[in-house]
Amino acid sequence: MNIGSLYTVKKYFWLIFPTKEIAHIGPPIAAPLLGLPAAATAAAYWSKQYNCEVTYFSPESFIVFLQEDGKLKKVLTSDGRIGWTWFDEDYISYFEEVKTEQ
């Protein structure tokens, strides 16, 4: 993954935590969820657990990874959400870099 490059999400819903500290104690790779109801339920659950707003991004959305710290990456979504998500290199095939024509 290249920091600053635009990617399209090919698979799963991914939780976004508001801070790196919360993402670090959040669910370890419980982030790739199987569907919208599960994503919304998980986001609501973790929001309540940590008294903050946990959101998610979905397949076919566009994201930019802004920063990384170990298995955590700061992400900007196409709908303007910014936060931290778990990312392991095993999931690299779930994202596709958007190539721009020159």
DSSP class of residue 79 equals T
pLDDT at residue 58 in the model: 86
The rounded Cα 71 to chain-centroid distance in angstroms is: 12
Q: b vs e for 59-92, b when ≥16 Cβ sit within 10 Å of the residue's Cβ?
A: eebebbbeeeeeebbbbbbeeebebbbbbeeebe
- Residue 53: is its pLDDT beyond 90? yes
Compute the average pLDDT of residues 25-35.
59
Q: Do the beta carbons of residue 73 and residue 67 sit within 8 Å?
A: yes
**For the whole model, what pTM was predicted?**
0.84
pLDDT at residue 7 in the model: 94
- Residue 29: is its pLDDT beyond 50? no
